[in-house]
Amino acid sequence: MTNTKKISIVFDNTTLDPGLKTEWGFACVIELDNEKSLFDTGNDGKILLSNMARLGYAPKDFSRLIISHMHWDHVGGVIDFLHHNSDVIVYMPASSLTDDINMIKSISKSVVLVSEPVEITDGLFSLGDLPGYLNEQSVVLKTDEGLVVLTGCAHPGVLNIVKRARVSFPDVPVKLLIGGFHLLHDSTESVIELIEKLKRLNVQQVAPTHCTGEKQMELCRQLYAGHYIKAGAGLKLQFK
């Protein structure tokens, strides 16, 4: 058995593969050996399933679905996905609305309501139900190279998410911060300040996408120089 860990973005509003469909939203696949988890579902189930198929994934491949938060651009594909695989364990923020929780429970094998940081499976952790404009859970993939911190929309603040990861794993550097950073309406000055703080927290690489904003992503690219990864649907990353 290998110890390879992979992340593949299967839904985003930008793409690195012209054969993939784009829409506002985010979803990615997390692979640990032969175990696969889906993190969010984008805003459209048909696009999600189509992109997954092009990238070699079938709904039945997954044992877990992790929902960052219940905004439409992250859960719009949930029903279509669960209709094709209702055997997954679904991890939801404990702060999710009761109606949303009951809806997911009605069409899935089981639901885990996440409040505190928890290990989802060997090497994959939720950082817990973090407070913000909208409560949200982010996940951490622990690799031999360091932590991979994966965000949905980062409503609690991308800096707060990284700080939570550092508290949970104080002796492990953050290899990569990837996902939506929610900087779309942030000024140039605030983005520069944020990047400086991320560097002080020893975030080695960034791969912002989705709700980060084009101008803000360009700033990240410039300031992180050779440690910036261009993200979008079709991005595949591998770690040890």
Paired sense of beta strands 89-93 and 203-209, if any: unpaired
pLDDT band at 2, cuts 50/70/90?
A: low
Residue numbers of the domain that contains 138: 5-239
Is residue 1 very low, low, confident or very high in pLDDT (cuts 50, 70, 90)? Answer: very low
CA distance 112 to 143: 24
Query: pLDDT of 142-193, one tens digit each?
Result: 999 999 999 999 999 999 999 999 999 999 999 999 999 999 999 999 999 9
**For residue range 92-141, what is the model confidence (pLDDT) as tens digits?**
999 999 999 999 999 999 999 999 999 999 999 999 999 988 999 999 99
Mean per-residue pLDDT over the chain, rounded: 96
Rg (CA), the chain: 16
Tokens found for residue 1? 């058995």
Residues 6+ apart with CB under 8 A from 235: 7, 8, 9, 16, 207, 229
The CATH number that applies at residue 113 is 3.60.15.10
CB environment 128-166: b (16+ within 10 A), e (fewer): bbbeeebbbbbbbbbbeebbbbbbbbbbbbbbbbbebbb
Given the DSSP bridges, would you call strands 203-209 and 139-143 parallel, antiparallel or unpaired?
unpaired
Count the domains in the chain: 1
Count of CA atoms in the C-beta half-sphere (13 A) of 100: 18
Q: What is the pTM of this model?
A: 0.96
